Amino acid sequence: MTNMSDKQKPAALLVEQISAICAARTHRAGDADPASGALLRQPLVRCGGTVWSYTQTRDEAARFGATLRSAGIQRGDRVALICSNRIEFLRAFLGCAWIGAVSVPINTASRGQQLQHILSNSAARLLILEGALAGNLDHLDVAALPLEMIWTIDANVPVRAGAITSKPVAVVTDACAEEALRPRNMLTILYTSGTTGPSKGVCCRTRSTSGGGEHRRLAWT
């Protein structure tokens, strides 16, 4: 089980968490394997007072995937995430993976030209933003970005960025089917710190995590 703490960077959690969800997706209720039911009930994520089992983690991913699809986000679309270590970050990341959208986790310290570059270079259509970090968007030239929507987490008031006014994240209650992905499909883009020049996007494909999910599945069965 993974504990999300303030000492951990969101990017450091990505491979471990998506590997775990791959294992959960491998097992379905009613599998012939008698160990699968025990696996699905095992706690997988603990964040503050929230604990998700394998089944709950899978269901959260499926529901957030449905939320993204209802907003027109499709396979291959980029979704930027500016969020601290909280359960909403994981829900959004796994929801993107569920429907084949490409998540773009952004360092919460990114601002100004660096943030402008990342949002432009990644071609993110949607930005999911923690309300407390709304100031990160100051001084952005939003009109020059492909950004279409901003969803906020725990924002007291709507965030305005150029012509875009944010909306609170609203999770659809009904789940959706996962997208059939190939190993070469893109999973996430992780940007470097940009200390020696513009931040560079490291493109991570599903093949880099599915193997870890299989190893974890075998360890449980």
Do the bridges between strand 160-161 and strand 201-205 make them parallel or antiparallel, or are there none, so unpaired?
A: unpaired
Q: pLDDT tens digits, residue range 46-81? A: 888 899 998 899 999 999 999 999 999 999 999 999
Q: 29 pLDDT exceeds 70?
A: no
Predicted TM-score (pTM) of the model is 0.81
Question: Please, which pLDDT band fits residue 171 given cuts at 50, 70 and 90?
Answer: confident
Residue with tokens 């450091």: 12
Q: pLDDT tens digits, residue range 35-49? A: 556 777 888 888 888
Q: What is the largest CA-CA distance in the chain?
A: 56
Tokens representing 210?
A: 């599915």
**For residues 174-208, b (16+ Cβ closer than 10 Å) or e, as one string?**
ebbebbebeeebbbbbbbeeeeeeebebeebebeb
Instruction: Indicate the helix (H) or strand (E) that contains 67.
Output: helix 54-70
- d(CA 158, CA 218) in angstroms, rounded, equals 46
2-220: CATH architecture: 3-Layer(aba) Sandwich (3.40)
Domain ranges of the chain: 2-220
